Each structure stands twice: as C-alpha cells, then as structure tokens.
C-alpha cells in the first residue's frame, strides 16, 4: 500500500513530536544522552530533506568548537542544541567567528531541539558572514513545514 504525502507527513510529524518531548523531559532531569544521539538524527534529517552530506564533526574531534555537523562541499554547518536563548546562539556565532569556521562553512544553521523563540533580536556576525534569523534558526516544526 502506498502512503499519500499527507499520511507520510503525519507519521513523520508524530515521531518528531515524541522525539522532541523525550529530549525536553530528559533534559529536565539532566539526562543528556538523547541530546548527543540527536546530532545523528538531525544529520540524517538534514541530509534527506536538503540534500546535504553532513558529517558529525564530533566524531573526528571531540567537542568540535561551535558546530556539530558540517558539509564542506556545500559549505554548510549546523549547531544542534536544546537551548533556544539568544545568549546561546550568540555564543555559537562567537565560537564560529573565533575559529574562523565561516571560511569553510559560509552557511551556518542553528537547529533547536526544543521550540525556538517567537523572535530574536539581530545577532553580531562582525560582518564576516550573513546570518538570516528567519531562515537559519530552525526547529522541528520548521523541518515539517519544509518537508
């Protein structure tokens, strides 16, 4: 039996909602194993939805600075985080700049495992790369909408 696009999206949506709730609840009791595993799920989702060839950079260098996933061929980097605050995102951008990662990865995405904030004030990239808040800060809801 072939599933319709709507049925397929409903299944994906249900599974992602359960996953998101699991990550949130585990974080509240200081169990962060699911956050680490999430990097691999996000890698596969981004590769499937957007055609990237992301690698988990923490596999080759434990605690890679500022980003978790990278596709050097397409110049895409992704930071996977459960923290949605402006301070966390600016901290990621600061590490990205400090380590000159924008040279290899001119396109940085922040993927928030929880729900992102409704809005963010502009971030400081020191003019070294462009960062579109509306397009480059994503959460699970955005993935479903883009699928």
- If residue 139 lies in a helix (H) or strand (E), which one and from where to where? strand 137-139
Q: What is the mean pLDDT of residues 45-61?
A: 92
Q: Which residue has the higher pLDDT, 81 or 10?
A: 81
The mean pLDDT of the chain is 89
Whole-number CA gyration radius for the chain: 15
How much is the pLDDT for 32? 62
How much is the pLDDT for 42? 94
Residue 126 predicted with pLDDT over 70 = yes
pLDDT digits (tens, 9 = 90+) for 102-115: 999 999 999 999 88
Cβ proximity of 53 and 47 under 8 Å: yes
How much is the pLDDT for 94? 98
Cβ proximity of 56 and 43 under 8 Å: yes
How much is the pLDDT for 23? 75
How much is the pLDDT for 129? 96
pLDDT digits (tens, 9 = 90+) for 68-102: 999 999 999 999 998 999 999 999 999 999 999 99
How much is the pLDDT for 31? 66
Q: What is the mean pLDDT of residues 29-36?
A: 70
Query: Beta strands 76-81 and 69-71: pairing type?
Result: antiparallel
Distances, alpha carbon 133 to alpha carbons 25, 29, 57, 111, in Å = 27, 30, 23, 12
How much is the pLDDT for 16? 79
Cβ proximity of 69 and 77 under 8 Å: yes
The DSSP secondary structure of 18-73, one letter per residue, reads HHHHHHHHHHHTT--HHHHHHHHHHHHHHHHHH----EETTTTSTT-SS-SEEETT
């Amino acid at each position: 039996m072939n599933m319709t696009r709507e049925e397929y999206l409903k299944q994906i949506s249900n599974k992602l909602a359960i996953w998101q709730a699991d990550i949130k609840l585990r974080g509240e009791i200081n169990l962060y194993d699911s956050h680490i595993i999430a990097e691999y799920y996000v890698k596969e989702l981004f590769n499937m939805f957007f055609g990237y060839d992301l690698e988990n950079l923490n596999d080759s260098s434990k605690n890679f600075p500022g980003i978790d996933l990278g596709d050097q061929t397409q110049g895409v980097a992704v930071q996977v985080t459960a923290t949605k605050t402006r301070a966390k995102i600016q901290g990621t951008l600061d590490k990205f700049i400090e380590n000159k990662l924008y040279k290899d990865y001119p396109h940085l995405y922040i993927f928030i495992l929880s729900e992102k904030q409704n809005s963010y004030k502009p971030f400081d990239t020191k003019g070294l790369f462009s960062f579109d808040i509306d397009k480059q800060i994503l959460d699970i809801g955005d993935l479903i909408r883009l699928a």
